[in-house]
Structure 1
Amino acid sequence: MVKAMIAFLKKPSTVVGIVTALLFQILFPIIWLTAYDHVTDRVDQFKLAIVNEDRGNIGEKVVQDLSNHLSFQVTKVDSLKQAMNDLEQRKYRMVIEIPANFSSLVQQLNQKAPFIFHINESNPTMIKNVMHSVANEVAKAANHESIKAGIEATFEQAHMPANQAKKMATMLSERVVMKIEPLHSVSNFSSSMIPMMVVMACFVGSMMMAMQMQKVSTELKEQFTKWERFSARMLINFASAIIISSIGATLIYSLGDHLAGGFLSLWLFQVTCMLAFLFVAQISLLLLGDAGAWVNIALLSIQLVSSGALIPRELLSPFYLEIGKYLPATYAVDGLMNLVLGGSGISETVASLLWITIGAAILGLLCVSLQRDTWAHSPREIASTK
């Protein structure tokens, strides 16, 4: 057994396997822990919109109070339609609507004024949880301001006995009711996990495929030129992306119970994602050979943390926020959220993925151009010499 172990350790593949496993343990903690370090300290990066349609003056007082005390980036928007459009595009995480009759209802003892919260649930699950908590806090703050305004308006009308004043104050203890209107409501948690699942499956699959293609390319270097081998890899990438995505999209469409888009859109988008991942995964291998697989391990981890699949991107540190703009996972997650959970469309994300694919293809061409071509004879000439 000892001799067998020594024989294993003498093989380069064994050493490569051990180093690869070690790199997973080194790279994942470094990337994940630095990316998510003090994430909760950056919740002030969340953007909320307030639309005040109140015809009285209490709504404006509430808006001023919220703007001063909420630890988020609060923007006053005049048009509810514009705010909802921005919410659809995830420019805002929540839209707070103060209805036109808010002041009037607050001052009526037998009425309660609604405070409407629009939350886009086509987002990481963290957004839904945080925004629901924020809605509760906002409703409490709105109640505080509304109670003061309601009492002032009531007591201005007449002097009241102490017992009646106490009864009145009790009735005014809750003047605002919270009303949450979700945009693209998600009832099944598994649906919210589809974007991350697809990104991981696509890139890990692309990593494995690129490694095997690199081995085959090395084996064929005496028979074909570097450009013939590179062209063949490109054609195989295109064909594989179509076939693999057909199976993946079919399974998602069959097993998923919440798909905002149709099967054709999902399939075409997954083909686009798969192409981008395949072209990106092969760059390091074309440049560094088999050692490029270790670069892809780091790319896998970086894309998972910077894509926005797990936590909103605005909570990331500036480094990961910036690097995510140039990686396909960011746009894959955004497009899949729109297709699976609901959203404003995928035209911009598709364009970004295509640009990344084209850029990766150009980098691949440059890497191949730097390689030394060891091909000397055509396959026919090789065969004739045997």
Structure 2
Amino acid sequence: MKILQGFKNMMKIPQTKIGLVFAIFVPVFFMIVWMTGYNNATERLDQLNVGIVNEDGAASKVIAEQIAKNSPFHVVAVSEYEKAKEQLDKGKYAMLIVIPEKFANTMTDGSGELTFYVNEANSQVAVSMMEKAAAEISANLGAHSGVKADIVKTNELHNFAASMLPMILGFITYIAVMTMNIQFNLVGQIMKKGHSKWQIFWSRQMLLLIVALVVPTIIISLTVAFQDVSASFWKLWLFHVLVTAACISFTQMSFSLFGNAGPLFNVAMVPLQLMTAGNIIPANMLAPFYQHFGAFLPASNGVQGFTKLIYTGESVSVFAVHLVLLLLVTFVITIIRLATQKEKAANPALSAKQLAH
């Protein structure tokens, strides 16, 4: 009977109910989001852009048109190789097909060769699809003449560990900050007994600012110590500061809006950010409803930005702007919400020792 009474008392505690909600809600939400978001993703290959450069001119015009017509991707004709290669490195194209000079002539003697540039700074699913497509395109053209495929991987990382960096720097930062803010929220609840809400808030912001500067310094220092990456230390550091600050403000906002249910909201954002980060499959292959979610989530912008910095060193200004807007909007929401909350009378005589207990 004592056990039964203990069980009843346990069920009266709000945190018990929240824990049970987590146990049910998290897997259900993952299931719903991923099953609907990834649904029929492979049927949206036409959302992937592939560039084609015809250096053989009129002689291979029909061949270029045939490739574009039979390809499941959205094929874009580009006149200049250098311009196309630049767009490939920027991530505009998942693959670049180059028809070399005199290709039409070499096809007849069985020595024809197409060059396929596959951008490794893309999701592994997309890279795999491009490599398979390159082999199929060459096989279809060379059915009677033996066209070969020369697949050139661009922005290739030879160390597999480096390919995990965008997830570590962009996504794991969110998980770490989310966990940290759960603890800081509990600290804030304890401090209410002896401090005003604004004292607690601005003290926390001071601590969070230190975290946003110190943590990236440590993590990026380790990054450049262990791996060769395309971007400089300062570019990586500045972007990681932005990602960390945006994650902090985003997860902090959930507590101001939802109180003890804040962690539930933060966890609910995990599958959305994993899905829209573009490292599993490109975001434009997701179900239309989910394709633009990533722009409004910190980890999604972080992963996509770090992918560019680590693989190519290209500009991440678009993602930086998104993160700044996220930071500002979520911070303002937190301030407004806090301003509307009634404050309990503080007890200035409460000692630090009492707060600790």
Same fold (TM over 0.5): yes
Letter in 2 for 1:141: N
Show the counterpart of 1:347. Answer: 317
How far residue 8 of structure 1 moved from its aligned partner, in angstroms, is 4.2
Residues 79, 4 of structure 1: alpha-carbon distance in 2 compared, 3 angstrom cutoff? farther
Show the counterpart of 2:301. Answer: 331
Show the counterpart of 1:305. Answer: 275
Letter in 2 for 1:122: A
Show the counterpart of 1:102. Answer: 103
1:339-361 deviations in Å (ceiling 9; x for gaps): 22224222332232122111211
Take 1:362 and 1:235, find their aligned partners in 2: how far apart are those partners? Answer: 16
How far residue 227 of structure 1 moved from its aligned partner, in angstroms, is 2.5
Letter in 1 for 2:249: F
Residue 32 of structure 1: which of 31, 34, 38 is its match?
34
Show the counterpart of 1:92. Answer: 93
Checking the alignment, whether the CA contact within 8 Å between 2:139 and 2:148 is kept in structure 1 is no
Take 1:200 and 1:344, find their aligned partners in 2: how far apart are those partners? Answer: 20
Residue 185 of structure 1: which of 145, 152, 156 is its match?
156
Show the counterpart of 2:69. Answer: 68
SS in 2 for 1:90: coil
Residue 223 of structure 1: which of 179, 184, 194 is its match?
194
Letter in 1 for 2:312: G
Show the counterpart of 2:328. Answer: 358
SS in 1 for 2:315: coil
Unaligned residue ranges in structure 1 (runs of 5+) = 148-172
Deviates more, 1:206-215 or 1:3-12: 3-12
Take 1:211 and 1:36, find their aligned partners in 2: how far apart are those partners? Answer: 30
Checking the alignment, whether the CA contact within 8 Å between 1:95 and 1:119 is kept in structure 2 is yes
How far residue 63 of structure 1 moved from its aligned partner, in angstroms, is 0.9
Letter in 2 for 1:99: P
What is the Cα-based RMSD across aligned positions, in Å?
A: 2.2
Deviates more, 1:221-230 or 1:271-280: 221-230
Q: Which residues in structure 2 correspond to 1:1-386 (within 5 Å)?
A: 2=3, 6=7, 8-57=10-59, 59-107=60-108, 109=109, 112-144=111-143, 147=144, 173-174=145-146, 176-256=147-227, 258-375=228-345, 379=348
How far residue 130 of structure 1 moved from its aligned partner, in angstroms, is 0.7
Show the counterpart of 1:155. Answer: none
1:49-81 deviations in Å (ceiling 9; x for gaps): 111110451x11111111211111111111212
Checking the alignment, whether the CA contact within 8 Å between 1:55 and 1:103 is kept in structure 2 is no
Take 1:249 and 1:209, find their aligned partners in 2: how far apart are those partners? Answer: 19
1:169-205 deviations in Å (ceiling 9; x for gaps): xxxx31x221122211123333222222333321111
1:202-254 deviations in Å (ceiling 9; x for gaps): 11111112222222222222433322322222221111122222332233334
Letter in 2 for 1:17: G
SS in 1 for 2:291: helix
Take 1:210 and 1:376, find their aligned partners in 2: how far apart are those partners? Answer: 23
Take 2:5 and 2:278, find their aligned partners in 1: how far apart are those partners? Answer: 46
Take 2:268 and 2:62, find their aligned partners in 1: how far apart are those partners? Answer: 50
How far residue 263 of structure 1 moved from its aligned partner, in angstroms, is 3.1
Checking the alignment, whether the CA contact within 8 Å between 2:295 and 2:322 is kept in structure 1 is no
Checking the alignment, whether the CA contact within 8 Å between 2:115 and 2:150 is kept in structure 1 is yes
TM-score (norm 2): 0.90
Larger radius of gyration: 1
Checking the alignment, whether the CA contact within 8 Å between 2:41 and 2:286 is kept in structure 1 is yes
Checking the alignment, whether the CA contact within 8 Å between 1:122 and 1:343 is kept in structure 2 is no
Show the counterpart of 2:354. Answer: none
Equivalent residues, number: 349
